[in-house]
Amino acid sequence: MAISLTEAAARHVTRYLAKRGKGVGVRLGVKTTGCSGLAYQLEYVDEFAPEDMVFEGHGVKVLVDPKSLAYIDGTELDFVREGLNEGFRFNNPNERDKCGCGESFRV
């Protein structure tokens, strides 16, 4: 079981945490929503929860709750710039389908 992140994602998270002045990493999870059933949730975290599973890459901690891990195990978190747009991209090997709007996915 593992969650990883690219150097680009780690640089972005590190810069943002430094700008905030606090934080221990990011929390990656899923919620039930959208056309296909599940959507990614990503938020900056100031403290660990007792149930958190912690993965680390390039000096950045990624926290995941055990229920979400079943859907996102093996996911690589990336940060990409395409033209004027930029944002996180989730490379999830468990993903079987995505809705047309890109909001949700199914495993």
Using alpha carbons, list the distances in angstroms from residue 40 to 51, 59, 104: 19, 22, 7
Domains of the chain: 4-106 (2.60.300.12)
Spell out the residues 6+ positions from residue 83 whose beta carbon is closer than 8 angstroms to its own. Answer: none
Residue 66's pLDDT is 93
Q: Identify the segments of the chain with pLDDT beneath 50.
A: none
For the full predicted model, state whether its pTM sits above 0.95: no
Residue 25's pLDDT is 96
Residue 4's pLDDT is 96
